[in-house]
Amino acid sequence: MDKPSRFETPGSLTIMLIYVAMFGVLWLLSFVYLGVRWAIG
């Protein structure tokens, strides 16, 4: 009988999800920076 499959890489997926979340936040902050530069420029 086949062994039930299990998710083997929860730690890596967690790290990647944290990275993608930081990526998104920093990308949005780049627009905030852009807006500030326009505002004071």
Partner 1 sequence: MAIAEPLPLAVSTDHRELSRICTVTGLRIFAGAQALTLANAVAAVLALAAGGLFGTLVGLSRAPALAFLGPGTFYAALTGHGVAALVLWPVFFEVAAMVFASSILLNARVWSMKLGWLSFALMIGGAVVLLLTILLGDASVMFTAYPPLVATQWFYIGYLVFAVGVLGAIVNFALTIVAARAEGAHEGSLPLITYGVGCAAILALLSILSGLVALIPAWVYANGWTDTLDPIVYRGWFWGLGHTLQYVNVVAMVVAWYGIAALAYGAGPVNQKFTRFAFVLYLIIAVPVLGHHFLVDPSIGTTTKFVGGTAMGFALGIPSLMHGLAVMGGVEAEMRARGAMGLFGWLKRLRFGHFATASLTCSLLIFAIGGWSGTVETTLPLNLVNHNTMGVPAHIHSVVVGGTTLAFMGFAYYLVPLLSRRRLWGGRLATVQAYLYGAGLLVMIVAQTWAGALGVPRRTQSIDYPGGTPGGWDASMNLNGVGVALASTAGVIFIVIMVATLVLGKRTEDPAELVEPAYS
Report the interface residues with partner 1, using CB under 8 A: 8-16, 19-20, 22-23, 26-27, 30-31, 33-34, 37
Q: How far is the CB of 18 from partner 1 (least distance, A)?
A: 11
State in angstroms the smallest separation of the CB of 3 from partner 1.
13
Distance between CA 38 and CA 19 in Å, rounded?
Answer: 29
CA angle 13, 14, 18 (to 5 degrees): 115
CB of 2 or CB of 9, closer to partner 1: 9
* Rg (the chain; Cα; Å): 20
